[in-house]
Amino acid sequence: MQKYILIYLLFLLVTSCEKDKFEGIELSTGNEIQVSSEQQTIRIALRSGSDWSFASPTSWCRASKISTPQGDTLVINT
């Protein structure tokens, strides 16, 4: 009986350790965004198959994330 329990537990371990597939991020603006030296707000629509996050390490650039059922929007204020 213990042998069957061990085999069952090993089966669960092997089948549950599958890596998540990263499907990438699709940008609405393509690969390049032009930014001027003047203050502006940039909105980028994103679609991703997984959760994503961002960091804005500078004081002159603030970013926020808006999530909707249709997709996410990254809002960048310079």
CB-based contact 56:63 (threshold 8 Å): yes
Residue 31 is assigned to a structural domain of this protein: no
- Phi and psi at residue 7, in whole multiples of 5°? -65, -40
Residue 65 is assigned to a structural domain of this protein: yes
pLDDT digits (tens, 9 = 90+) for 28-74: 666 667 777 788 888 888 777 777 787 777 777 788 888 888 788 88
Under DSSP, is residue 41 helix (H, G, I), strand (E, B) or coil? strand
Residue 42 is assigned to a structural domain of this protein: yes
Please check the confidence at residue 25 and state whether its pLDDT lies above 70.
no
The pTM score is: 0.54
Residue 24 is assigned to a structural domain of this protein: no
Please check the confidence at residue 7 and state whether its pLDDT lies above 80.
no
Residue 66 is assigned to a structural domain of this protein: yes
Show the domain range for 72: 38-48+58-78
pLDDT higher at 25 or 42: 42
How many domains does the structure of the chain reveal?
Answer: 1
